[in-house]
Amino acid sequence: MTDSPLTTSPVHDDPEYAANLRRATLASSLGSALEYFDFALYGLSTALIFNVLFFPQGDPGMATVLAFATFGVGFLARPFGGLFFGVLGDRLGRKWVLVVTILLMGGASTAIGLLPTYEAIGFWAPVILVVLRLLQGFGAGAEQAGATVLMAEYAPVKRRGFFSALPFIGIQAGTLLAALVFSVIALLPEDQLLSWGWRVPFLASFALILLALFIRMRLRETPTFVELEKHDQIADRPIRDIFTHGLPGVIVGIGLRMAENGGSYMFQTLGLAFFVSVLGPSADKSLLTWGVTIGSLIGVFSVPFAGHLSDRFGRRTIYRAGAVFMLVYTFPAWWLLSLGNHAIAIAVIAIGIGFAVATMLGPQCAMLPEMFGNRHRYLGVAMAREISAVLAGGLAGVLGSYIISVSGGDWVLLATYMATLALITTASTFLVPETLRRDLTRTDDAIKVSRNEGGDGVYATTVSIKAVGL
């Protein structure tokens, strides 16, 4: 099989290609920023605001559990959104799906800022909150997968890890912005914070929607999808393709995401709730959010750097290093959080987000698209990302807050939970062949067939899963 021109290198000095690459980076980054701004903001609000405003206060501990359940509901909707929009992305193209998802996701987030509280409308307040959270999750279910696929298919082959990771600066920027905004509004007197202050950042997300929409409308379709259209290879039934050919890739992709996604949400939201349970009313909530802020700021640099390292040393090597780091870090981290020291807690959360999570996220940006064939890549990435988001991120808040409630804040149980996620991801890195510089115009999946033509990282020899480490 001869390599397509897309396997070697795009025309780097072509002005049209350079302009499209810039647009793709901006379009992906803004979508990622909006998604994670909303999700991080929702997560921070869950532990400190929604549990008070949208649920009866007879049992504060149960109100917190219920609030985290609404956080988890958004994750339940994500696989359905990924399935629905993933099929459209593989049949109609990447661009228009990303236009629709940004409107759906951002519109639901803005509407949350207009929602009446439990005191105003009673039972209907949490019901409407759940509906909006479902819509938010349904749109987000294809947003990040689309951004991942878009950049991987646009990026120069030899620097695909670095370029694919650039939009994921949007993840860190969105999380950073949410933490900064929340840190500021948390300084308000409690009555103002609970009456109107919390609404401001949700309403302000509307500006991000307009900017992202403007850029995405000017974006051209990716070169690899154009290649599919040119050769009349677009899948009529992407779902059938996934279940007949792509299922191993989806399963391994889920495993790869367990520590990255679950660890991220545990540090961002559960770490905050746990620390508050340790100190009680004396916990400085506005101060503690600086752990997320600093960790996200570190991630702005560490995510693309990890992607760059994966271009040099391989996706699996860097990914595995991040998973092992989280595994080693887990028990000391939760023990340190249990000490109830604000400065130590800030450092623990910052390191967890900025280094442990970011080291896995960097290579993941290119690795997941490289694992799937061109005919069902969008759907494959969406399924791997969003099913894992339910199993890892969605359960983290609900199960973790339940553990805190019934165990009286036992840090060992929380650490064991995170260590389990890290072990699953570490094991999963042995189940996937190296995907570095894989030809994205190929229609077969890397999990079954890989190619190896020597030291340049381009593949040519068929291998089985046994041959890569089992």
* Structural contact between residues 311 and 158, judged by C-beta atoms closer than 8 angstroms: yes
- The residues near 356 (Cβ < 8 Å, ≥ 6 apart) are 263, 322, 325, 326, 329
Nearest CA among 185, 126, 138 for reference residue 35: 138
Q: How far apart, in whole angstroms, are the C-alpha atoms of residue 312 and residue 455? A: 11
Count each helix (H run) and each strand (E run) in the chain, helices first.
Answer: 23, 0
Nearest to 178 by CA among 86, 348, 293: 293
Tokens (6 digits) for 185: 């509004």
Burial class from Cβ neighbours inside 10 Å (0-12, 13-18, 19+) for residue 279 reads middle
Where residue 9 sits, what CATH number does that domain have? 1.20.1250.20
Domain total in the chain? 1
pTM (global) more than 0.85? no
Alpha-carbon distance of 448 to 470, in angstroms, equals 14
If you search the block for the tokens 């570190």, which residue do you land on? 298
Find the domain containing 328 and state its range: 5-468
Query: Which pair of tokens denotes residue 313?
Result: 């040393």
Which positions ≥6 away from 332 have C-beta within 8 Å? Answer: none
Q: How far apart are CA 192 and CA 173, in angstroms?
A: 27
d(CA 64, CA 67): 5
Phi/psi class of residue 122: alpha, beta or left (left: φ > 0; alpha: ψ in -120 to 50)? left
Give CA–CA dist 421/254, Å, rounded. Answer: 11
pLDDT of residue 282: 67
Q: Say how many CA atoms lie within 13 Å of 296 toward its Cβ.
A: 25
Q: How far apart are CA 155 and CA 106, in angstroms?
A: 26
Residue 273: the pLDDT is 80
Can you give the pLDDT of all 470 residues of the chain as single tens digits?
A: 334 444 444 444 566 777 778 888 887 887 778 777 877 777 777 767 877 777 766 666 667 777 777 777 777 888 898 889 989 888 888 888 888 888 888 888 889 888 888 888 887 888 888 888 888 888 887 887 888 898 899 888 999 999 999 887 877 778 778 878 877 887 888 788 888 888 888 888 788 788 878 888 878 888 888 888 787 778 778 888 888 888 999 999 999 999 999 999 889 878 888 887 787 766 776 677 788 889 988 988 999 999 999 999 999 999 999 999 999 999 999 999 999 898 999 999 999 999 999 999 999 999 999 999 988 999 999 999 988 988 888 787 778 878 887 887 789 999 999 999 999 999 999 999 999 999 998 989 998 744 444 444 444 333 344 333 33
Token pair, residue 304, equals 């693309």
> Which amino acid, residue 196?
W
